[in-house]
Amino acid sequence: MWGFEFSDLLMFLVYAVLAICVAVLIYVRVRKKRTPRPDQKKTHVAAPVDGKAYVLNGRYALITPAFKQGGMATIWRAVERKTGRACIIKTPRRGTAMDNVYLEKLLIEASFLKRLDHPGIVKYIDDFYHRGEFHLVLEYLNGETLLALSPRSPLQEQQVVVWACQLLDALYYIHRAGIIHRDVNPKNVMLCSDGTVKLIDFGTAKDLDPDKDKTHYDSFTQITNKGFDIPELFIGRKSDHGCDLCGLAQTCIYLLTLDEPNDICQKLFRYNWPRSFTEAALLADYLVSAGVSKRVAKCLAQAVMFSPDSRFADARAMQAALASESGYLIKQLEAVSQK
């Protein structure tokens, strides 16, 4: 009478029940995907609320917002919960095509700072992964970088020489450990509240001994810093301790003149560095005309020469030349200056 048999009704009910079961299964699977398991790691930590401390790895209270956004890392202020010690935590910058490079830079910095312990170098505290992200913990330095000083007039030579000797002591220690920093410039030197200077940012450091170098390739064969370029790093050639001495000398020239050293050289001889002792003498004369003593001017001019072989033998030799009151120790440049 209804136009279909009882068997047809039964088949309809079976198909309806199957459809309902399939819908329920799909719903359950979607819910599982949206609700993470308790042990499931997140790729990135959700941004904490500004002005509040975020407990990190059960050990550190991370203070928000971020203290500084650098070119390759985000820097946070934090407090070690157990000791109350202030520290900073660096995480790799995210959201660019260079994410992997920024992470590698931070991993490199951690690996080298673990091996170093010197009052002229920022102190390593800890490193760890938290919720899939790498964190590097360093001592908190109360101060500012030499680049951030922004003085209205060149600094006093005596003060610059004191800082340079402190940094040369740290560089001598680093080089003896078989490491070169490769990025010594005003933005990577911190002037602390007690008047001392410390070297920071070891993200482009390199091991001089290839057997100890754990990286399969060097991601930073070419390192550029406009106004403070170092010849062998700018070109991408093999580097040694001489690149750090050149970077320190350029930093001193900047503090003593407030001019970028590469720009000074461009004005004097149309390229970024003196390529002969005669050109080094011209640079030294320029620095003397800017108020730098003859001894210090000649020392800095030799340290920024294009060829690493024309610079100082090591950090101790440069330190002795800067600090000596009896005169400049290198004869080649002295002879050129007397012509």
Q: Assign domain 143-337 to its CATH superfamily.
A: Transferase(Phosphotransferase) domain 1 (1.10.510.10)
Closest CA to 250 of 320, 147, 109: 147
Asked whether the CA dihedral 273, 279, 283, 284 is positive or negative, the reply is positive
φ, ψ at 71 (rounded to 5°)? -65, -30
Strand partners, 75: 68, 90
Name the residue ranges covered by the structural domains of the chain.
Answer: 53-139, 143-337
Tell me: domain 53-139, CATH 3.40.50.150, correct? Answer: no
The one-digit pLDDT tens for each residue of the chain (339 residues) are: 445 565 666 666 766 766 677 666 666 565 554 444 444 333 333 444 445 678 888 899 998 888 888 778 999 999 999 999 999 999 998 877 778 888 999 999 999 999 999 999 999 999 999 989 999 999 999 999 999 988 889 999 999 999 999 999 999 999 999 999 999 999 999 999 999 999 999 999 999 887 665 554 566 666 778 899 999 998 888 889 999 999 999 999 999 999 999 999 999 999 999 999 999 999 999 999 999 999 999 999 999 999 999 999 999 999 999 987 654 444 444 433 333
The whole-model pTM stands at 0.79
